[in-house]
Structure 1
Amino acid sequence: MVRWIIAMVVVLITIFFIYVGVSNQLPDDLGVTDGLLKPCPSSPNCVSTQAAPEDVAHYAEPIIYTGDRKETQLTIESYMLSKGNARIVSSTLGYVHFEIKSRLVGYIDDVEFYLPEADSVVHFRSASRVGHSDFGVNRERVRQIQDLLVD
């Protein structure tokens, strides 16, 4: 009986990690289109400055910055990479996309920053690829960037 329970637990854990691996695929529709980042899904595991302000589950204030656009982007990139679990997927002046991998299970979040040329503002979208809730991880990540850039 104990062997059967152990075998079932091993099978369930294996299925879970296969699910996470399959679901963690890079979305093909990220980036900026007509000045907009991809909208958040209905699940509460996404935060975006471009969500409607009345959508309190997803909306966060854009970050107003002073100084140089390129230097601001480099500050963001350096900070994110210093965390040790981030990698840059793509980076051009005004846009950067990171993958952030959780240490325990290996969930991946996509974190995008958009710095329009005409404004001194940082728009962002931080979203989990897998699951329903993120336990506030994406919103906390954004708060850290706000603290970094706001004097």
Structure 2
Amino acid sequence: MYSLLGLTAALLLAGQAGLFAGQPPSGLGVHDGRLRPPSDTPNSVSSQADLYPEHPQRAYARIDPLPLRQGDAAASLAALATVLRATPGTTLVEQGPDYLRAQAQTRWLKFVDDLEFWFNPATNMIELRSASRLGRKDFGVNRQRIEAIRDAYLAHP
């Protein structure tokens, strides 16, 4: 019993000290009209998963892009930035005219996920990717977070 409590306390302290935050992966951003591929393990989602037909997590990672609000990319990204700033545990770290990058941190263990949103002029949609920095599974957390962001974005005035 005491060893379980000690282990739990040690994990919480390690998380609070930032030991589970990880580092942003290289290659974030848009390259040749694509966001980085989904992770090789089931801990990411991407609206561009189908661009990687041989990817081992393509089916797991597949998620719909965000539609533009009233056909306006700039207003859509501004609304999305507002939603990201209001999302608990999420920090907007990069904002450009067609690209947003945020970090989402879990409350207790401080795991960090990288979120990217890019206005794709070829599809007239906002492509997205969200991936855990550490671990092999995310138990659906990235998908749930993106769907909550989608709901808030679509409801934003």
Query: TM class by shorter-chain length?
Result: 0.7 to 0.9
Q: Give the alignment partner of residue 46 of structure 1, picking from 25, 31, 44.
A: 44
Secondary structure of the corresponding residue to residue 115 of structure 1? strand
Q: CA RMSD in A?
A: 3.0
* TM-superposed deviation, 1:145: 3.2
- Using a 3 Å threshold, how does the CA distance of structure 1 residues 14 and 70 change in structure 2: closer, same or farther? closer
* Identity level (%): 28
- Say whether the 8 Å CA contact 1:94–1:117 is kept in structure 2: no
**TM-score, normalising length: structure 1:** 0.81
**Corresponding residue of 1:110:** 114
CA distance in 2, matches of 1:23, 1:83: 18
* TM-superposed deviation, 1:9: 3.7
**Corresponding residue of 2:98:** 94
The aligned length equals 148
Q: After superposition, give the CA deviation of every residue in 1:50-105 in whole Å (9 maximum; x if it has no partner).
A: 11287220111222223311111011111111123111221101101001111111
* TM-superposed deviation, 1:19: 10
Q: Give the alignment partner of residue 83 of structure 1, picking from 68, 84, 87.
A: 87
CA distance in 1, matches of 2:18, 2:134: 7
**Corresponding residue of 1:145:** 149
- Using a 3 Å threshold, how does the CA distance of structure 1 residues 14 and 85 change in structure 2: closer, same or farther? closer
**Corresponding residue of 1:30:** 28
Stretches of structure 2 lacking an aligned partner (at least 5 in a row): none
Bigger radius of gyration among the two: 1
Q: Give the alignment partner of residue 62 of structure 2, picking from 51, 59, 69.
A: 59
Stretch moving more, 15-24 or 35-44: 15-24
Stretch moving more, 87-96 or 64-73: 64-73
CA distance in 2, matches of 1:132, 1:82: 28
> Are 2:135 and 1:126 aligned?
no
Amino acid corresponding to residue 50 of structure 1 in structure 2: Q
Stretches of structure 1 lacking an aligned partner (at least 5 in a row): none
Amino acid corresponding to residue 102 of structure 1 in structure 2: T
**TM-score, normalising length: structure 2:** 0.79
